[in-house]
Amino acid sequence: MPDESNNKMKDLGALVPQMRQWRHQLHRQPETAFTEYLTAKLVAKTLRAHGIEVHEEIARTGLVGVLRNGTSERSIALRADMDALQIEELNTFEHKSEIDGKMHACGHDGHTAMLMGAACKLADESKFDGTVYFIFQPAEENEGGARQMLDEGLFERFPADSVYGLHNLPGLSTGHFSICAGPMMAGFATFECVIHGQGGHSAMPHLAKNPIMIGNEILAGWSQVKLAIEAENQVNMEVTWFQAGEASNTIPETASMGGSVRCFDESTNARMEAEMQAVINAISTQHDVSVTFDYQVRYPVLVNDQEKTAYCADVAADLVGPHRVESDREPVMASEDFAYMLQARPGAYILIGNGEGEAGGCMVHNPHYDFNDDILELGANYFIRLVETSLQL
């Protein structure tokens, strides 16, 4: 925890062990996209116990807590994601997942617990003038829960002036924050390619059209596309699965493969799609086979508002000291559907250190990952300070 004598950290008292208890409860009962029923129930019950107005069933399992104080019409929204991942946990600690094939491998259990703690403290003390909207969002992982909340009128119902979120970062020391203005996290697209060849006996390949071999040619062409575009713009294209055939003596009829593309502007995304399709067209024509290609932009680039980024960096510096806040970090290739909320309202997204080594250095989306409980108090304080400085009495 920070040792600066002038830091603005609040002593959260009994809320600290309570946040740890919430976090462990959520970790033991992970729920994936749009099935966060127990998670939402815990959040709603907790907020209501502190006198916070709760609106449920937004984007199926999402909810918003509303806390008003004073007479100001100013407002702020704070967001936490609630969903887990379809990963079999390999940890052995007491609070490990009790659900086969699911775990909180990205720390959303910690994000939820931090925002719950901040909400309770703000409700109990009410040292602000205006309205706070606590957004607990489902389905951040791949399914676009933020977009669905917006489609269901999130900011029409809860008209926040600005919106803020955070994410833990393994490898960044505890007590540290990292952020940058402008594009901070990559846009995310998925693709799937199905090659319709001609099956046959492996002893007579000349009478067949092997979709696996054709797929390898397409992969080689895509690699050249990536290298060419990469020379001009940051881009990441990864094939993450390839499925074909079942028998060693049979050439399959079809082969399928897919993956993701990540980049920092729409034009690069459009170019990747067009040039990947051009490779497919050329090779499929050469081999006289049919190939289908489906390319979908799932999440836009996450763009932090410049003014709000500076504000977040200042808030973080108040808590931990300016030398522990990186305000001009390099953008990262990971993606976040909080980007949709930042398209609708000005705001910013910050990274909070989860620790190094065994304390928290295991990367997210890993079966050995665990959120670092030691940063719960700091994360809750960050949310609280955003509110109290934005909505000053």
Res 142: pLDDT: 85
pLDDT at 248 over 90: yes
Q: Counting beta carbons within 10 angstroms of the beta carbon of residue 35, is it exposed (0 to 12), middle (13 to 18) or buried (19 or more)?
A: middle
Res 5: pLDDT: 44
What fold is seen in the domain 187-299? Answer: Alpha-Beta Plaits (3.30.70)
pLDDT at 301 over 90: yes
Q: What percent of the chain has pLDDT over 70?
A: 97
pLDDT, average across residues 22-31:
98
Which comes out higher in pLDDT, residue 306 or 357? Answer: 306
Q: Please report, for the chain, the start and end positions of each structural domain, with discontinuous segments joined by +.
A: 15-184+301-390, 187-299
Res 358: pLDDT: 66
Domain 15-184+301-390 has CATH 1.50.40.10: no
pLDDT at 2 over 60: no
Mean pLDDT of the chain: 96
Q: Which amino acid, one-letter code, is at 129?
A: D
pLDDT at 259 over 60: yes
Indicate the range of 134-143, 190-199, 360-369 predicted with least confidence. Answer: 360-369
Res 359: pLDDT: 60
Q: Which two tokens stand for residue 57?
A: 């069933």
pLDDT, average across residues 131-147:
96
pLDDT, average across residues 129-146:
97
Res 185: pLDDT: 97
pLDDT, average across residues 23-51:
98
